[in-house]
């Protein structure tokens, strides 16, 4: 009868050992896969952020250049309006038109309220802008709306980078949870090993504790999202 009880006990220990080993292996695999995925997300987020920074700097450079052109154009218009020499007046207005229609960005040009048809690399179209149309933009400025438009692509990329990084944090958290679950399976293995070695009544307690920890680990394992290759 004692042999039968010992045999049953050993079977239960063996089952626990096998369950804990399989569960721990699967939890470790999941932790590894999710960890690799998190690393990929972080790398992708960094790449997107770098691209966003480049786009941001490009947008700032365009805004700065447009502001300088607008300042120079307004200086020329003021000089032309106050000039007593018609030749100087005509020259300054023509240079101002050239700056606005040929060198300023399309967004900056339109933000000042100028008609779209004159912003062209076609010199004939650009030259058709009248002095009255040019001078009408003297009171217009490149406002925050214009700046926001210049930086919008970069800000969208920054937002994409933040989202990708957040996704990486989420899967990294899943990896951590699977790793923790692996620890519980390891604990179950440890308790099963103790139960197998101990020869007194305490071994039953270790076995029950091992099954309890293993059950908790199994429930946790199935509650977590599994990696799909």
Q: What is the pLDDT of residues 70-121, one digit of tens each?
A: 999 999 999 999 999 999 999 999 999 999 999 999 999 999 999 999 998 8
Residue 63 lies in a domain: yes
Residue 29 lies in a domain: yes
Residue 229 lies in a domain: no
Q: Find the domain containing 102 and state its range.
A: 2-223
pLDDT at position 191 is: 95
Residue 45 lies in a domain: yes
- How far apart are the C-alpha atoms of 206 and 223, rounded to whole Å? 26
Residue 228 lies in a domain: no
pLDDT in tens, 170-199: 999 999 999 999 999 999 999 999 998 988
Residue ranges of alpha helices (H) inside 83-143 are 86-98, 106-111, 123-127, 131-135
Residue 111 lies in a domain: yes
Residue 13 lies in a domain: yes
- How far apart are the C-alpha atoms of 7 and 123, rounded to whole Å? 99
Residue 94 lies in a domain: yes
pLDDT at position 6 is: 56
Q: What is the pTM of this model?
A: 0.78
For the chain, what is the domain count?
1
Q: Minimal CA–CA distance to 156: which of 41, 48, 57, 64?
A: 48
């Amino acid at each position: 009868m004692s042999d039968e009880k010992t045999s049953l006990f050993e079977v239960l220990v063996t089952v626990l050992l096998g369950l804990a080993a399989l569960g721990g292996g699967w939890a470790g695999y999941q932790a590894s896969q999710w960890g690799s995925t998190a690393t990929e997300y972080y790398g992708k987020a960094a790449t997107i952020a770098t691209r966003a920074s480049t786009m941001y700097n490009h947008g700032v450079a365009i805004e700065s250049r447009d502001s300088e052109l607008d300042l120079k154009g307004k200086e020329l218009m003021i000089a032309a309006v106050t000039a007593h020499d018609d030749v100087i007046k005509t020259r300054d207005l023509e240079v101002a038109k050239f700056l606005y229609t040929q060198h300023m960005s399309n967004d900056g040009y339109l933000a000042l309220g100028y008609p779209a048809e004159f912003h062209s690399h076609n010199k004939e179209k650009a030259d058709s802008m009248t002095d009255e149309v040019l001078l009408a933009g003297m009171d217009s400025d490149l406002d925050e709306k214009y700046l926001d438009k210049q930086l919008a692509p970069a800000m969208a990329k920054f937002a994409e980078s933040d989202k990708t990084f957040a996704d990486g944090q989420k899967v990294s958290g899943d990896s951590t949870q699977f790793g923790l679950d692996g620890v519980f399976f390891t604990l179950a293995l440890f308790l099963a090993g103790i139960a197998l070695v101990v020869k007194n009544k305490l071994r039953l307690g270790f076995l029950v504790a091992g099954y309890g920890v293993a059950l908790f680990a199994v429930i946790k394992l199935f509650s977590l999202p599994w990696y799909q290759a």
